[in-house]
Amino acid sequence: MKQLAATLFVLAAGVGLIAIAFTIQQVNREEVRLTSDLERRSTLLAENVRNAIEANFLNRSDIYLQNVVEKFAGRERIAGIEIYDNNTVVVARSLEIPDEPSESQRIAATAMDQDAAHGEFAIFGKKRIYQLALPIHQEESVVGALMVVQNAEYIDTRLAEIWRNNLLRLLIQILLITSAIILMIRWLIYAPVRNLVASLKFARTENGGEEIGYSSGILQPLTAEIKNVRRSLLEARIAAREEARVNLDKLDSPWTADRLHVFAEQILKERSLIVVANAEPYTHTREGKDLTYFTAASGVNTALDPMMQACGGTWIAYGPSEEDKLVVDSENRIRVPPNDPKYTLRRVWLSPKEWQGYYAGLSTEGLWALFHNAHNRPIFRKEDWQEYKKVNGKFAEAVLAEIKDVKNPIIFIQDFGFTILPRLIKRARPDAIVGMFWHIPWVSPEAFSICPWKKDILQGMLHADLIGFHTQLYCNNFIESVRLEMEARIDFERLAVVNDGHVTLIKPFPISIAFSNGQQRDVENTGTIHEADAKVLKSLGVHTEYVGVGVDRLDYIKGIMERIKGIEIFLKKYPAYVGTFTFIQIAAPTRSAIRKYSEFAKEVESEILRVNALFESKGWKPIILLKKHHSHEEIERFYRLANFCLVTSLHDGMNLVAKEFIAARGDEKGVLVLSQFTGASRELKDALIINPYDGEQTAEAIHTALTMSPTEQTKRMRNMREVVRSYNVYRWAAEILKTLTNL
């Protein structure tokens, strides 16, 4: 629509400029014609008057001269007549001209001095006039001057009329032309294209059915081709679904969004899938006067959004922005993704006090710090715990509202923000099947024991039917915590906990990303991509031979400070890379309203400035900090252009950045340097595994990555891509759904 508006604007501007140019020419010609006509008529009138008074001018009485002036002054468009003697003294004047000195005397004097007619345009009483003076002779001598003053306002009136008529004509022409173009586009292009798009969308999202009508005309060749494409899409979809049904129970075969969709239909049947997570997948915001949205930077979103797009259902989350409230319906729901809706997002609103206690307080300063062994002291406040329970109750109300008319619904709860939510749901709806996934590490029972509400947290979680963790180690730590803190029976053979007669299954489900599995063409480093990448680097002022990349939220658990120290040691140890190596750190702001995080962001900026000051020269600096949110497409471009990706988390549940980097490398090049304290390090054995606390080891890993042969890079990357491909997020979701429905 904006392109059409811009096209019409350019067209209207072009037509307008042409019309204005012709109007200027017409006005100039008309002004010349009217001026010449006025001068001619003024000259004829002045000569007639002069003929009546020139003979014996000096002997004429003033009364006679005044009578002659009055006789001629009443004619049309004559503003007045004056007669001067040779001293430019007025001897006769019509009543229309005031008796005061004016430009008329100067014009009369000029005519007498030159002994020739002299005329000028002037403004008289806010009116435009034309003054023409003729010398009066007697016996070859100039004895006076005759001044004829003509009203010239009609010239301006005529020119203004031309402008007005032409502009009105221009406006009508532009209106007719644009209307005709819009109608032509709508009838000949927009309507057929809309039908074609609707048909392709139908083929992409449905399983067949009534065919949408096509249009003929100028798009007939395209219509015929798209008809074939649509048929191929439908056939491919049907074939994919048939294959998915055949391989329904073979979890180790390749998984795609289509296969997960069919799988979910088969095992969920009429039951609803409800996902509960603190963070929403799409946050609405404002750009100028327009409402838009962005995808939040989060591993939870990276994993769950593709799953929900494949399975459908409802995602219940906190809506943080005022713009979020403007787009929901009366029940706080909106279909997402906004550009291609696949599932429902239900937003829950929290007051500043609730958010501060539930999220900033207990969830972040307490539980996040506790479960990430990054040497940051957790803070526990009683008032935060009260708000935490209150918010869990709010989310429970939202869940119960969504499942009130549904039998045996499946609830899938995410992470540490909702540890008591399973109990609230199960007490109200015992028939609900509740699963919970813990996206962060579960620490040792000794570390967990410092939490003041440890028993409440375990009691709440153990009302879930299934609790999933990234690794077996986290499962073991959780079971040990239950063994030490609860009077519950543990079935080590099944890895289950029996508490108050309720059985909770504990299983590892290493989360992943939406790797294509051939559904989409892997991105190759073609010349086109190289050109685009070069533009990105040029815009950042990067002209070095080697490039490293890090992609993290500005969180202290990500080891960004340790990473910077490793880069400093690397450049000191290998000075040959000074000026030839640049590290790009993409750092999305997170939890900036929390003091610890705002202080950490300042520490990172200060440390980067310090290291850059040590080495920078001639416009080069070793580290570039991009402190803003980036889209997945933008981040993938950085993944593709980098020689290596540096992941230095001090403690992380999985870390999907590592897997995203691998998925982006369709060229099977690049090196992953990965912290041993990530869940991903247990799967991605071909990465360069490091201890991020050891700066020397990090520096050596960077050097190894930059000197690794292309053959070795390909071997390692190919192995890691196979790991991510074979266990993608669709398989992760399928295993969880199958486990839940089989309970």
Average the pLDDT over each of 119-128, 204-213, 381-390, 721-730 and give the range with the smallest value: 204-213
Split at pLDDT 50, 70, 90, the class of 246 is: low
Report the CATH superfamily, name and number, of domain 527-727: Glycogen Phosphorylase B; (3.40.50.2000)
CATH class of 2-157: alpha beta
Residue 560, classed as helix, strand or coil, is helix
Residue 655, phi-psi category: left (phi > 0), alpha (psi -120 to 50), beta (remainder): left
Identify whether the C-beta of residue 377 lies closer than 8 Å to the C-beta of residue 368. no
**Distance between CA atoms of residues 638 and 148, nearest Å:** 83
- Supply the pLDDT for residue 226: 65
Phi first, then psi: what are they for 148, rounded to 5°?
A: -110, 125
- Supply the pLDDT for residue 139: 80
Give the count of alpha carbons within 13 A of 415, CB side only. Answer: 22
What's the whole-number mean pLDDT along residues 292-299? 78
The Cβ of residue 553 has, within 10 Å, a number of other Cβ atoms equal to: 20
Q: Residue 329 pLDDT > 50, yes or no?
A: yes
**Distance between CA atoms of residues 610 and 671, nearest Å:** 27
Q: Residue 414 pLDDT > 80, yes or no?
A: yes
Task: Identify which of 127-136, 227-236, 285-294, 551-560 has the greatest average pLDDT.
Answer: 551-560
- The DSSP bridge pattern shows strands 118-124 and 90-93 to be unpaired
Residue 507, classed as helix, strand or coil, is strand
- Supply the pLDDT for residue 530: 60
Burial of 739: CB neighbours in 10 Å, binned 0-12, 13-18, 19+: middle
Residue 671, classed as helix, strand or coil, is strand
Task: Identify which of 296-310, 387-401, 614-628 has the greatest average pLDDT.
Answer: 387-401
Across the chain, mean pLDDT equals 88
Residue 199, classed as helix, strand or coil, is helix
- Supply the pLDDT for residue 389: 98
Split at pLDDT 50, 70, 90, the class of 201 is: low
Same fold, 2-157 and 527-727: no
Element (H, E) at 104: helix 103-114
Domain boundaries, the chain: 2-157, 262-508, 527-727
Side chain identity at residue 300, one-letter code: V
Identify whether the C-beta of residue 699 lies closer than 8 Å to the C-beta of residue 570. yes
The Cβ of residue 7 has, within 10 Å, a number of other Cβ atoms equal to: 13
Split at pLDDT 50, 70, 90, the class of 250 is: low
- Supply the pLDDT for residue 602: 95
How many angstroms separate the first and last alpha carbons of the chain? 51
Average the pLDDT over each of 64-78, 478-492, 717-731 and give the range with the smallest value: 64-78
- Supply the pLDDT for residue 521: 41
What's the whole-number mean pLDDT along residues 734-739? 94
Split at pLDDT 50, 70, 90, the class of 245 is: low
The Cβ of residue 177 has, within 10 Å, a number of other Cβ atoms equal to: 14
Q: Residue 621 pLDDT > 50, yes or no?
A: yes
**Distance between CA atoms of residues 304 and 292, nearest Å:** 21
Q: Residue 291 pLDDT > 60, yes or no?
A: yes
What are 47-58's pLDDT values in tens digits?
888 888 887 787
What's the whole-number mean pLDDT along residues 174-195? 79
What are 634-662's pLDDT values in tens digits?
899 999 999 999 999 999 999 999 999 99
**Distance between CA atoms of residues 580 and 290, nearest Å:** 43
Task: Select from 3.40.50.2000, 3.30.1490.20, 3.20.20.70, 3.30.70.330 the CATH code of 262-508.
Answer: 3.40.50.2000
Residue 130, classed as helix, strand or coil, is strand
Burial of 637: CB neighbours in 10 Å, binned 0-12, 13-18, 19+: buried
